[in-house]
Chain A
Amino acid sequence: MTKHVAVAGAGLGGLRAAEQLRAAGHDGPITVIGAEPHLPYNRPPLSKELLAHELLDGSGGEDGGTDPLAALHQRVAFRRRSSIADVTFRLGAAVTAADLPSGTLTLADGDTVRCDGLIAATGLRPRRLLNLPGPAGPGSGRHVLRTIDDLAGLRAELRAALRDAVPLEPSPAAAGRSPRPAAGPAATTIAGRPLPRVVVVGGGFVGCEVACTALSLGCEVTVVEPLGPPMLRVLGAELAAAVQASHERAGISFVIGQAVIAYTGQDRVTGVVIADGTDPGSARIPGGPASGGHAVAGAVLPADLVIEAIGSIPNTEWLAGNGLDLTDGVLCDNKLAAVTGAYAAVPVTAVGDVARFPNPLFDDVPRRVEHWSMPTDTARRAAATLHAQLSGAPLDPAPFRPLPSFWSDQGELRMWSFGSPGLADDVEITEGDLRELTGGLLATYRRGGQLVGSVALNLPPLRHRQLREALLK
Protein backbone atom coordinates (compact mmCIF):
# COMPACT_ATOMS: atom_id res chain seq x y z
CA MET A 1 0.00 0.00 0.00
CA THR A 2 1.29 3.48 -0.82
CA LYS A 3 2.07 5.44 2.31
CA HIS A 4 1.76 9.22 2.53
CA VAL A 5 4.46 11.03 4.51
CA ALA A 6 3.88 14.54 5.80
CA VAL A 7 6.87 16.74 6.61
CA ALA A 8 5.96 19.55 9.00
CA GLY A 9 8.33 22.44 8.29
CA ALA A 10 9.66 23.74 4.96
CA GLY A 11 13.09 25.04 5.94
CA LEU A 12 16.41 23.34 5.30
CA GLY A 13 15.36 20.38 7.46
CA GLY A 14 12.02 19.86 5.70
CA LEU A 15 13.64 20.05 2.27
CA ARG A 16 16.39 17.60 3.17
CA ALA A 17 13.82 15.28 4.78
CA ALA A 18 11.88 15.06 1.50
CA GLU A 19 15.09 14.45 -0.48
CA GLN A 20 16.25 11.78 1.93
CA LEU A 21 12.88 10.02 1.99
CA ARG A 22 13.29 9.52 -1.75
CA ALA A 23 16.93 8.51 -1.30
CA ALA A 24 15.85 5.96 1.33
CA GLY A 25 13.43 4.40 -1.14
CA HIS A 26 10.09 5.89 -0.13
CA ASP A 27 8.08 6.11 -3.37
CA GLY A 28 4.73 7.21 -1.95
CA PRO A 29 3.44 10.78 -1.85
CA ILE A 30 5.22 13.40 0.27
CA THR A 31 3.70 16.68 1.44
CA VAL A 32 5.96 19.35 2.92
CA ILE A 33 4.00 21.88 4.99
CA GLY A 34 5.50 25.31 5.73
CA ALA A 35 4.34 28.27 7.81
CA GLU A 36 6.13 30.74 5.56
CA PRO A 37 4.82 31.36 2.04
CA HIS A 38 8.29 30.73 0.59
CA LEU A 39 9.93 27.60 -0.78
CA PRO A 40 12.86 26.42 1.37
CA TYR A 41 15.76 28.87 1.56
CA ASN A 42 19.16 29.16 3.22
CA ARG A 43 18.98 31.29 6.37
CA PRO A 44 22.65 32.04 7.23
CA PRO A 45 23.03 34.82 4.58
CA LEU A 46 20.16 36.74 6.24
CA SER A 47 22.49 38.11 8.92
CA LYS A 48 25.38 38.65 6.54
CA GLU A 49 25.55 39.15 2.77
CA LEU A 50 21.81 39.35 2.13
CA LEU A 51 21.36 41.91 4.90
CA ALA A 52 23.99 44.13 3.28
CA HIS A 53 23.12 43.33 -0.35
CA GLU A 54 22.93 46.55 -2.43
CA LEU A 55 21.84 48.49 0.63
CA LEU A 56 24.38 51.25 0.12
CA ASP A 57 24.39 51.73 -3.63
CA GLY A 58 21.12 53.60 -3.63
CA SER A 59 19.35 50.99 -5.76
CA GLY A 60 16.18 49.13 -4.92
CA GLY A 61 13.54 49.87 -2.38
CA GLU A 62 12.44 53.18 -3.92
CA ASP A 63 8.84 52.17 -3.55
CA GLY A 64 8.32 52.73 0.14
CA GLY A 65 11.79 51.44 0.92
CA THR A 66 10.98 47.74 0.83
CA ASP A 67 12.52 45.06 -1.36
CA PRO A 68 10.43 42.75 -3.48
CA LEU A 69 10.32 39.64 -1.29
CA ALA A 70 10.61 37.38 -4.32
CA ALA A 71 13.91 38.97 -5.34
CA LEU A 72 15.38 38.50 -1.87
CA HIS A 73 14.08 34.93 -1.71
CA GLN A 74 15.51 34.11 -5.13
CA ARG A 75 19.01 34.88 -3.89
CA VAL A 76 18.90 32.27 -1.13
CA ALA A 77 16.34 29.71 -2.35
CA PHE A 78 17.59 26.12 -2.35
CA ARG A 79 17.73 24.42 -5.71
CA ARG A 80 15.07 21.77 -6.07
CA ARG A 81 16.48 18.38 -7.01
CA SER A 82 14.75 16.28 -9.64
CA SER A 83 14.24 13.49 -7.08
CA ILE A 84 11.63 15.61 -5.31
CA ALA A 85 9.95 17.10 -8.37
CA ASP A 86 6.70 15.33 -7.38
CA VAL A 87 6.74 16.46 -3.74
CA THR A 88 3.83 18.72 -2.78
CA PHE A 89 4.78 21.95 -1.00
CA ARG A 90 1.85 23.23 1.06
CA LEU A 91 3.09 26.72 2.00
CA GLY A 92 1.78 29.68 3.98
CA ALA A 93 -0.01 27.72 6.71
CA ALA A 94 1.72 26.20 9.73
CA VAL A 95 0.65 22.91 11.23
CA THR A 96 -1.23 23.94 14.38
CA ALA A 97 -2.25 20.56 15.75
CA ALA A 98 -1.56 16.87 15.25
CA ASP A 99 -3.64 13.84 16.15
CA LEU A 100 -1.13 11.03 15.88
CA PRO A 101 -3.50 8.08 16.52
CA SER A 102 -5.42 9.03 13.36
CA GLY A 103 -2.47 10.63 11.54
CA THR A 104 -4.34 13.90 11.06
CA LEU A 105 -2.65 17.30 10.92
CA THR A 106 -4.57 20.56 11.25
CA LEU A 107 -3.22 23.62 9.46
CA ALA A 108 -3.49 27.29 10.38
CA ASP A 109 -5.95 27.88 7.53
CA GLY A 110 -8.27 25.16 8.85
CA ASP A 111 -7.31 22.51 6.32
CA THR A 112 -6.41 19.00 7.41
CA VAL A 113 -3.77 16.65 6.01
CA ARG A 114 -3.89 12.88 6.57
CA CYS A 115 -0.61 10.99 6.74
CA ASP A 116 0.78 7.53 7.49
CA GLY A 117 4.09 8.85 8.76
CA LEU A 118 5.30 12.23 9.99
CA ILE A 119 8.61 14.04 10.07
CA ALA A 120 8.77 16.98 12.49
CA ALA A 121 11.03 19.69 11.08
CA THR A 122 9.33 22.84 12.37
CA GLY A 123 12.52 24.51 13.52
CA LEU A 124 12.78 27.53 15.76
CA ARG A 125 11.26 30.92 16.34
CA PRO A 126 13.12 33.84 17.93
CA ARG A 127 12.80 34.42 21.64
CA ARG A 128 11.29 37.86 22.29
CA LEU A 129 11.73 40.34 25.10
CA LEU A 130 8.18 40.43 26.38
CA ASN A 131 6.45 42.93 28.65
CA LEU A 132 9.19 45.54 28.56
CA PRO A 133 8.00 49.13 28.89
CA GLY A 134 8.24 51.11 25.69
CA PRO A 135 7.31 50.75 22.02
CA ALA A 136 6.63 47.27 20.66
CA GLY A 137 5.31 45.62 17.54
CA PRO A 138 5.53 46.46 13.85
CA GLY A 139 6.94 49.91 13.13
CA SER A 140 8.49 50.24 16.58
CA GLY A 141 12.03 49.85 15.31
CA ARG A 142 12.46 46.55 17.21
CA HIS A 143 13.48 43.67 14.96
CA VAL A 144 14.24 39.97 15.02
CA LEU A 145 15.94 38.14 12.18
CA ARG A 146 14.73 34.66 11.35
CA THR A 147 12.73 34.85 8.13
CA ILE A 148 12.93 36.57 4.75
CA ASP A 149 10.02 38.74 5.87
CA ASP A 150 11.95 39.77 9.01
CA LEU A 151 14.88 40.60 6.75
CA ALA A 152 12.80 42.74 4.39
CA GLY A 153 11.47 44.77 7.33
CA LEU A 154 14.92 45.29 8.79
CA ARG A 155 16.42 46.24 5.42
CA ALA A 156 13.70 48.82 4.78
CA GLU A 157 14.43 50.59 8.06
CA LEU A 158 18.20 50.29 7.67
CA ARG A 159 17.97 51.72 4.15
CA ALA A 160 15.91 54.66 5.36
CA ALA A 161 18.27 55.34 8.26
CA LEU A 162 21.31 55.18 5.99
CA ARG A 163 19.70 57.49 3.42
CA ASP A 164 19.10 60.03 6.14
CA ALA A 165 22.65 59.79 7.39
CA VAL A 166 25.02 58.80 4.62
CA PRO A 167 25.73 61.08 1.67
CA LEU A 168 25.48 58.98 -1.49
CA GLU A 169 27.76 61.22 -3.61
CA PRO A 170 30.57 61.13 -2.69
CA SER A 171 30.16 58.11 -0.43
CA PRO A 172 33.11 57.56 1.91
CA ALA A 173 30.99 55.48 4.25
CA ALA A 174 29.54 53.41 1.44
CA ALA A 175 32.80 51.58 0.98
CA GLY A 176 32.12 50.02 4.35
CA ARG A 177 35.78 49.35 4.96
CA SER A 178 37.02 52.91 5.33
CA PRO A 179 38.25 53.93 8.77
CA ARG A 180 35.30 54.84 10.92
CA PRO A 181 34.99 57.62 13.42
CA ALA A 182 35.36 56.43 17.01
CA ALA A 183 32.10 54.97 18.31
CA GLY A 184 30.27 57.21 20.72
CA PRO A 185 27.22 59.39 21.01
CA ALA A 186 28.80 62.18 18.98
CA ALA A 187 29.95 60.05 16.04
CA THR A 188 29.07 61.61 12.73
CA THR A 189 29.78 61.12 9.10
CA ILE A 190 32.17 63.46 7.34
CA ALA A 191 29.18 65.43 6.14
CA GLY A 192 28.28 66.12 9.76
CA ARG A 193 25.12 64.06 9.84
CA PRO A 194 24.67 61.42 12.56
CA LEU A 195 25.33 57.77 11.84
CA PRO A 196 22.38 55.41 12.26
CA ARG A 197 22.62 53.99 15.76
CA VAL A 198 21.98 50.25 15.93
CA VAL A 199 21.70 48.38 19.23
CA VAL A 200 21.95 44.60 19.03
CA VAL A 201 20.43 42.88 22.06
CA GLY A 202 22.22 39.57 22.52
CA GLY A 203 25.86 38.69 21.98
CA GLY A 204 25.44 35.25 20.42
CA PHE A 205 26.51 34.27 16.93
CA VAL A 206 23.57 35.84 15.12
CA GLY A 207 23.86 39.03 17.18
CA CYS A 208 27.56 39.34 16.42
CA GLU A 209 27.06 38.67 12.71
CA VAL A 210 24.34 41.32 12.48
CA ALA A 211 26.52 43.74 14.44
CA CYS A 212 29.44 43.23 12.03
CA THR A 213 27.18 43.65 9.00
CA ALA A 214 25.63 46.84 10.40
CA LEU A 215 29.13 48.19 11.11
CA SER A 216 30.19 47.47 7.54
CA LEU A 217 27.20 49.47 6.32
CA GLY A 218 28.36 52.51 8.28
CA CYS A 219 26.18 52.24 11.38
CA GLU A 220 27.25 52.97 14.91
CA VAL A 221 26.79 49.59 16.62
CA THR A 222 26.45 48.58 20.26
CA VAL A 223 25.95 44.99 21.45
CA VAL A 224 24.26 44.46 24.84
CA GLU A 225 24.82 41.07 26.49
CA PRO A 226 24.11 40.38 30.16
CA LEU A 227 25.90 37.05 30.56
CA GLY A 228 29.49 37.82 29.58
CA PRO A 229 31.69 38.32 26.53
CA PRO A 230 30.09 37.43 23.18
CA MET A 231 29.49 33.77 22.27
CA LEU A 232 30.79 32.82 25.73
CA ARG A 233 28.89 29.53 26.01
CA VAL A 234 30.47 28.12 22.85
CA LEU A 235 33.88 29.81 22.71
CA GLY A 236 34.82 29.84 26.39
CA ALA A 237 35.86 32.93 28.36
CA GLU A 238 39.35 33.46 26.96
CA LEU A 239 38.50 33.26 23.27
CA ALA A 240 35.20 35.12 23.74
CA ALA A 241 37.07 38.02 25.33
CA ALA A 242 39.59 38.01 22.49
CA VAL A 243 36.84 38.08 19.85
CA GLN A 244 35.18 40.95 21.72
CA ALA A 245 38.46 42.88 21.72
CA SER A 246 38.87 42.22 18.00
CA HIS A 247 35.35 43.51 17.29
CA GLU A 248 35.97 46.53 19.51
CA ARG A 249 39.08 47.40 17.52
CA ALA A 250 36.94 47.23 14.38
CA GLY A 251 34.56 49.77 15.94
CA ILE A 252 31.75 47.84 17.69
CA SER A 253 30.88 48.84 21.25
CA PHE A 254 29.97 46.16 23.79
CA VAL A 255 27.91 46.59 26.95
CA ILE A 256 28.54 43.41 28.94
CA GLY A 257 26.84 42.44 32.20
CA GLN A 258 23.86 44.72 31.61
CA ALA A 259 20.36 43.69 30.65
CA VAL A 260 17.75 45.60 28.68
CA ILE A 261 14.94 46.60 31.04
CA ALA A 262 12.96 49.02 28.87
CA TYR A 263 12.86 51.00 25.67
CA THR A 264 12.36 54.75 25.39
CA GLY A 265 10.26 56.45 22.74
CA GLN A 266 6.58 56.88 21.98
CA ASP A 267 5.68 54.93 18.83
CA ARG A 268 9.26 54.23 17.83
CA VAL A 269 12.27 53.22 19.87
CA THR A 270 14.64 56.11 20.58
CA GLY A 271 16.79 54.35 23.16
CA VAL A 272 17.51 51.18 25.09
CA VAL A 273 17.43 51.31 28.89
CA ILE A 274 19.98 49.02 30.49
CA ALA A 275 20.66 48.04 34.07
CA ASP A 276 22.72 45.54 36.05
CA GLY A 277 21.27 42.10 35.73
CA THR A 278 21.69 38.85 33.93
CA ASP A 279 18.16 37.96 32.93
CA PRO A 280 16.58 40.23 30.33
CA GLY A 281 13.07 41.19 31.26
CA SER A 282 13.30 40.14 34.90
CA ALA A 283 15.30 43.11 36.17
CA ARG A 284 13.31 45.08 38.72
CA ILE A 285 12.03 48.30 37.29
CA PRO A 286 11.51 51.08 39.85
CA GLY A 287 7.98 52.29 39.57
CA GLY A 288 7.16 49.37 37.30
CA PRO A 289 5.40 49.33 33.97
CA ALA A 290 2.14 50.23 35.71
CA SER A 291 3.45 53.69 36.49
CA GLY A 292 2.52 54.68 32.95
CA GLY A 293 5.72 56.41 31.95
CA HIS A 294 9.15 55.11 31.26
CA ALA A 295 10.62 56.47 34.45
CA VAL A 296 13.09 53.68 34.92
CA ALA A 297 16.50 53.85 36.50
CA GLY A 298 19.43 52.97 34.29
CA ALA A 299 21.57 54.26 31.49
CA VAL A 300 19.98 54.90 28.11
CA LEU A 301 21.73 53.89 24.89
CA PRO A 302 20.35 56.03 22.04
CA ALA A 303 19.04 53.82 19.26
CA ASP A 304 17.46 54.30 15.83
CA LEU A 305 17.13 50.56 15.32
CA VAL A 306 17.13 47.60 17.70
CA ILE A 307 17.78 44.00 16.71
CA GLU A 308 16.89 41.42 19.34
CA ALA A 309 18.93 38.25 18.98
CA ILE A 310 18.46 36.51 22.30
CA GLY A 311 18.08 32.92 21.19
CA SER A 312 15.30 30.72 19.93
CA ILE A 313 12.41 28.51 20.99
CA PRO A 314 11.65 25.17 19.26
CA ASN A 315 8.28 25.06 17.49
CA THR A 316 6.71 21.95 18.98
CA GLU A 317 3.42 23.13 20.51
CA TRP A 318 1.50 21.67 17.56
CA LEU A 319 2.54 18.16 18.67
CA ALA A 320 1.07 18.52 22.17
CA GLY A 321 -1.43 15.97 23.43
CA ASN A 322 0.14 12.98 21.74
CA GLY A 323 2.22 11.55 24.57
CA LEU A 324 5.51 12.88 23.22
CA ASP A 325 8.17 14.46 25.45
CA LEU A 326 8.27 18.07 24.22
CA THR A 327 10.30 19.45 27.13
CA ASP A 328 12.90 20.99 24.82
CA GLY A 329 12.27 19.99 21.23
CA VAL A 330 11.01 16.51 20.37
CA LEU A 331 12.65 13.78 22.46
CA CYS A 332 13.96 11.09 20.10
CA ASP A 333 15.99 7.91 20.36
CA ASN A 334 19.36 7.66 18.67
CA LYS A 335 17.66 6.71 15.38
CA LEU A 336 15.58 9.93 15.53
CA ALA A 337 12.28 8.14 16.17
CA ALA A 338 10.18 10.24 18.53
CA VAL A 339 9.91 8.51 21.91
CA THR A 340 6.22 7.63 22.18
CA GLY A 341 6.10 4.91 24.83
CA ALA A 342 3.34 2.36 24.37
CA TYR A 343 1.11 4.45 22.15
CA ALA A 344 -0.63 3.44 18.94
CA ALA A 345 0.02 6.18 16.45
CA VAL A 346 1.58 6.93 13.09
CA PRO A 347 5.38 6.85 13.35
CA VAL A 348 7.12 10.20 13.91
CA THR A 349 10.75 11.14 13.42
CA ALA A 350 12.34 14.55 13.98
CA VAL A 351 14.86 16.58 11.99
CA GLY A 352 17.05 19.62 12.61
CA ASP A 353 16.70 22.17 15.39
CA VAL A 354 13.71 20.45 17.06
CA ALA A 355 15.28 16.98 17.30
CA ARG A 356 16.56 16.18 20.82
CA PHE A 357 18.53 12.97 20.63
CA PRO A 358 21.56 11.30 22.22
CA ASN A 359 24.76 11.47 20.17
CA PRO A 360 27.22 8.71 21.17
CA LEU A 361 30.02 10.83 19.77
CA PHE A 362 29.76 12.66 23.11
CA ASP A 363 27.56 10.75 25.59
CA ASP A 364 24.03 9.38 26.08
CA VAL A 365 22.35 12.69 27.00
CA PRO A 366 19.67 13.77 24.49
CA ARG A 367 20.31 17.31 23.24
CA ARG A 368 19.07 19.66 20.58
CA VAL A 369 21.83 21.06 18.37
CA GLU A 370 21.15 24.34 16.56
CA HIS A 371 24.02 23.96 14.11
CA TRP A 372 23.71 24.39 10.37
CA SER A 373 25.00 20.89 9.58
CA MET A 374 22.34 19.17 11.68
CA PRO A 375 19.25 19.43 9.44
CA THR A 376 21.12 17.69 6.61
CA ASP A 377 22.61 14.97 8.82
CA THR A 378 19.46 14.32 10.85
CA ALA A 379 17.27 14.28 7.73
CA ARG A 380 19.28 11.40 6.30
CA ARG A 381 18.80 9.25 9.38
CA ALA A 382 15.25 10.34 10.25
CA ALA A 383 14.08 9.58 6.71
CA ALA A 384 15.74 6.15 6.72
CA THR A 385 14.18 5.34 10.10
CA LEU A 386 10.71 6.44 9.02
CA HIS A 387 10.94 4.56 5.74
CA ALA A 388 11.93 1.40 7.62
CA GLN A 389 9.03 1.85 10.05
CA LEU A 390 6.54 2.33 7.20
CA SER A 391 7.82 -0.51 5.03
CA GLY A 392 8.49 -3.02 7.81
CA ALA A 393 12.18 -3.15 6.92
CA PRO A 394 14.71 -3.59 9.72
CA LEU A 395 16.12 -0.40 11.24
CA ASP A 396 19.74 0.41 10.50
CA PRO A 397 21.52 -0.89 13.65
CA ALA A 398 24.52 1.47 13.27
CA PRO A 399 24.62 4.20 15.91
CA PHE A 400 23.88 7.72 14.63
CA ARG A 401 26.86 9.90 15.57
CA PRO A 402 26.83 13.05 13.44
CA LEU A 403 29.59 15.64 13.87
CA PRO A 404 27.96 19.04 14.47
CA SER A 405 29.55 21.93 12.62
CA PHE A 406 28.77 25.53 11.75
CA TRP A 407 30.52 28.64 10.58
CA SER A 408 30.22 32.32 11.37
CA ASP A 409 31.61 35.19 9.31
CA GLN A 410 32.15 38.28 11.46
CA GLY A 411 34.03 41.12 9.82
CA GLU A 412 37.57 39.94 9.25
CA LEU A 413 36.97 36.77 11.26
CA ARG A 414 35.85 33.48 9.76
CA MET A 415 35.05 30.95 12.46
CA TRP A 416 34.38 27.27 11.98
CA SER A 417 33.22 25.13 14.87
CA PHE A 418 33.39 21.35 14.86
CA GLY A 419 31.95 19.09 17.53
CA SER A 420 30.36 20.52 20.68
CA PRO A 421 32.71 23.11 22.22
CA GLY A 422 29.91 24.11 24.61
CA LEU A 423 30.29 20.78 26.46
CA ALA A 424 33.92 21.41 27.36
CA ASP A 425 35.34 21.91 30.84
CA ASP A 426 38.73 22.88 29.47
CA VAL A 427 39.72 25.13 26.56
CA GLU A 428 43.24 25.31 25.20
CA ILE A 429 44.48 27.77 22.60
CA THR A 430 46.60 25.33 20.63
CA GLU A 431 47.66 27.65 17.81
CA GLY A 432 47.79 31.36 17.17
CA ASP A 433 47.76 34.58 19.14
CA LEU A 434 44.67 35.76 21.02
CA ARG A 435 45.68 39.37 20.33
CA GLU A 436 45.78 38.84 16.56
CA LEU A 437 42.95 36.52 15.60
CA THR A 438 43.01 37.29 11.90
CA GLY A 439 46.37 35.53 11.60
CA GLY A 440 44.73 32.19 12.36
CA LEU A 441 43.89 30.50 15.65
CA LEU A 442 42.85 27.07 16.85
CA ALA A 443 41.04 26.42 20.12
CA THR A 444 40.72 22.85 21.37
CA TYR A 445 37.87 21.90 23.70
CA ARG A 446 38.01 18.94 26.09
CA ARG A 447 35.70 17.41 28.67
CA GLY A 448 37.24 15.09 31.23
CA GLY A 449 40.35 15.05 29.07
CA GLN A 450 38.38 13.88 26.00
CA LEU A 451 38.32 15.98 22.84
CA VAL A 452 34.76 17.31 22.27
CA GLY A 453 35.25 20.26 19.93
CA SER A 454 37.47 22.55 17.88
CA VAL A 455 37.06 26.15 16.84
CA ALA A 456 39.16 27.37 13.93
CA LEU A 457 39.50 31.09 13.23
CA ASN A 458 40.86 32.06 9.84
CA LEU A 459 42.48 28.68 9.28
CA PRO A 460 42.57 27.19 5.76
CA PRO A 461 39.90 24.57 4.96
CA LEU A 462 42.51 21.85 4.54
CA ARG A 463 43.01 22.04 8.28
CA HIS A 464 39.29 21.53 8.86
CA ARG A 465 39.58 17.98 7.57
CA GLN A 466 42.11 17.08 10.29
CA LEU A 467 39.93 18.70 12.94
CA ARG A 468 36.90 16.70 11.82
CA GLU A 469 38.80 13.43 11.67
CA ALA A 470 40.27 13.92 15.15
CA LEU A 471 36.76 14.37 16.56
CA LEU A 472 35.33 11.34 14.75
CA LYS A 473 38.02 8.96 16.07
Chain B
Amino acid sequence: MRIEVDFNVCVDHGQCAIAAPDIFRMDDEGHLVFNPNPDASLRADAESAADACPEQAITIFD
Protein backbone atom coordinates (compact mmCIF):
# COMPACT_ATOMS: atom_id res chain seq x y z
CA MET B 1 0.00 0.00 0.00
CA ARG B 2 1.31 3.43 -0.94
CA ILE B 3 -0.07 6.77 0.25
CA GLU B 4 0.21 10.17 -1.37
CA VAL B 5 -0.79 13.51 0.11
CA ASP B 6 -1.41 16.49 -2.16
CA PHE B 7 0.34 19.27 -0.26
CA ASN B 8 -1.11 21.81 -2.68
CA VAL B 9 -4.46 21.32 -0.96
CA CYS B 10 -3.51 20.01 2.52
CA VAL B 11 -4.01 22.79 5.08
CA ASP B 12 -3.16 20.78 8.20
CA HIS B 13 -6.68 20.12 9.45
CA GLY B 14 -5.12 17.07 11.10
CA GLN B 15 -8.19 14.82 10.92
CA CYS B 16 -6.11 12.04 9.30
CA ALA B 17 -3.90 11.98 12.38
CA ILE B 18 -6.98 11.27 14.49
CA ALA B 19 -8.33 8.58 12.13
CA ALA B 20 -5.00 6.82 11.50
CA PRO B 21 -2.43 7.82 14.15
CA ASP B 22 -0.10 4.99 13.08
CA ILE B 23 0.28 6.55 9.61
CA PHE B 24 -0.28 10.29 10.04
CA ARG B 25 0.80 12.72 12.73
CA MET B 26 1.21 16.45 13.21
CA ASP B 27 4.71 17.68 14.01
CA ASP B 28 5.59 20.26 16.64
CA GLU B 29 4.82 23.08 14.21
CA GLY B 30 1.40 21.62 13.48
CA HIS B 31 2.28 20.33 10.03
CA LEU B 32 1.48 16.91 8.64
CA VAL B 33 4.08 14.15 8.45
CA PHE B 34 3.16 10.64 7.35
CA ASN B 35 4.45 7.20 6.39
CA PRO B 36 4.00 6.82 2.63
CA ASN B 37 4.40 3.02 2.75
CA PRO B 38 2.43 1.72 5.73
CA ASP B 39 1.82 -1.96 6.39
CA ALA B 40 -1.15 -3.45 4.50
CA SER B 41 -2.77 -4.27 7.84
CA LEU B 42 -3.42 -0.52 8.26
CA ARG B 43 -5.61 -0.37 5.14
CA ALA B 44 -8.87 0.32 6.97
CA ASP B 45 -7.25 3.10 9.00
CA ALA B 46 -5.75 4.62 5.86
CA GLU B 47 -9.15 4.65 4.14
CA SER B 48 -10.78 6.24 7.19
CA ALA B 49 -8.11 8.94 7.12
CA ALA B 50 -8.65 9.56 3.40
CA ASP B 51 -12.41 9.76 3.99
CA ALA B 52 -12.00 12.15 6.93
CA CYS B 53 -9.77 14.63 5.07
CA PRO B 54 -11.78 17.84 4.52
CA GLU B 55 -9.64 18.74 1.51
CA GLN B 56 -9.64 15.17 0.11
CA ALA B 57 -5.85 15.41 -0.20
CA ILE B 58 -5.05 11.74 0.53
CA THR B 59 -4.82 9.09 -2.18
CA ILE B 60 -4.24 5.39 -1.49
CA PHE B 61 -2.60 3.18 -4.11
CA ASP B 62 -2.70 -0.61 -4.03
Contact = CB atoms under 8 A, between A and B. Distances in A.
A465 B59 CA distance: 23
A372 B55 CA distance: 12
Interface in A450-466: 460-462, 464-465
A464 B15 contact: yes
A363 to B, nearest CB: 25
A468 B26 contact: no
Contacts of A78: 56
A242 B13 CA distance: 23
A461 B59 contact: no
B12 interface: yes
Contacts of B51: 16, 376
A458 to B, nearest CB: 11
B14 interface: yes
Contact of A461 (B14, B56, B62): B14
A464 B19 CA distance: 11
B13 A461 contact: yes
Contacts of B13: 407, 461
Interface string A26-62: 0000000000000000101100000000000000000
Given A82-B62, A407-B13, A461 B54 contact: no
Given A79-B59, A82-B62, A461 B52 contact: no
B18 A468 contact: yes
Interface residues of A, number: 19
A407 B11 CA distance: 13
B23 interface: no
Contacts of B52: 373, 376
A460 B30 contact: yes
Interface string A71-94: 000001011011000000000000
B18 A42 contact: no
Interface in B22-42: 26, 30
Nearest to B48: A376
A427 to B, nearest CB: 24
Interface string A432-473: 000000000000000000000000000011101100100000
A16 B62 CA distance: 19
Given A79-B59, A82-B62, A462 B54 contact: no
B57 to A, nearest CB: 10
B54 A372 contact: yes
Interface residues of B, number: 16
Nearest to A376: B51
A45 B55 CA distance: 8
A335 B17 CA distance: 28
Contacts of A462: 14, 17, 26
B52 to A, nearest CB: 7
A79 B51 CA distance: 10
Contact of A464 (B18, B56, B62): B18
B34 to A, nearest CB: 13
Contacts of B14: 460-462, 464
Contacts of A460: 14, 26, 30
A440 B62 CA distance: 39
B56 A79 contact: yes
Contact of B26 (A373, A407, A461): A461
Contacts of B17: 461-462, 465
B56 to A, nearest CB: 5
Nearest to A82: B62
Nearest to A75: B9
Contacts of A82: 62
Given A44-B54, A461-B13, A462-B17, 9 more contacts: A78-B56, A372-B54, A373-B52, A376-B52, A407-B54, A461-B14, A461-B18, A464-B14, A465-B18
* Shortest 4 CB-CB contacts between residues of A and residues of B: A461-B14, A376-B51, A465-B18, A42-B56
15 contacts: A16-B51, A76-B56, A78-B56, A79-B56, A372-B54, A376-B51, A407-B13, A460-B14, A460-B26, A461-B14, A461-B15, A462-B17, A464-B15, A464-B18, A465-B17
